[in-house]
Amino acid sequence: MNALAQLQDWYLSQCNGDWEHTYGVSIGTLDNPGWSLVVELTDSNLDGRSFAPVSHGVGADSVEDDPDWLTCEVKSNRFVAHGGPLKLDEMIMVFVKWADSCPPNAGDGAPFS
């Protein structure tokens, strides 16, 4: 299953008649150029879960005008990722691998996939 299909499955698994009315997933573009991915975690099966930030090609590792960069972190109970113009699939994959690796909270349904 590809990354986008896995993200769709995760999203559907969170939809309970309430969550999707307040929270969700946003994919956008950046002007440097690149992509943004924001996944609201509040009231999801990932609410409050820890995530080890992932990044490459930024900061001391950055090369000017190199599109091969990526940052992923959880802040304010949101998974937030930014990446170069060819990194959307990788950003989604970082999220779904993390989501799939988290055991369900008590009362949650089975993990997605």
pLDDT in tens, 31-47: 989 999 999 999 999 99
Question: Which two tokens mark 87?
Answer: 């990194």
Residue type, 63: V
Q: Is 35 inside a domain boundary?
A: yes
Q: Domain containing 53: what range?
A: 3-61+68-101
Residue 108: per-residue pLDDT: 47
- Average pLDDT in the 75-104 region? 94
What's the burial of 37, exposed, middle or buried (CB within 10 Å: 0-12/13-18/19+)?
buried
Burial grade of 66 (CB within 10 A; 0-12, 13-18, 19 or more): exposed
pLDDT score at 24: 96
Number of domains in the chain: 1
Q: What is the pLDDT of residue 105?
A: 60
Q: Which residues on neighbouring strands pair with residue 81, listed in sequence order?
A: 37, 72
Q: Is residue 111 part of a domain?
A: no
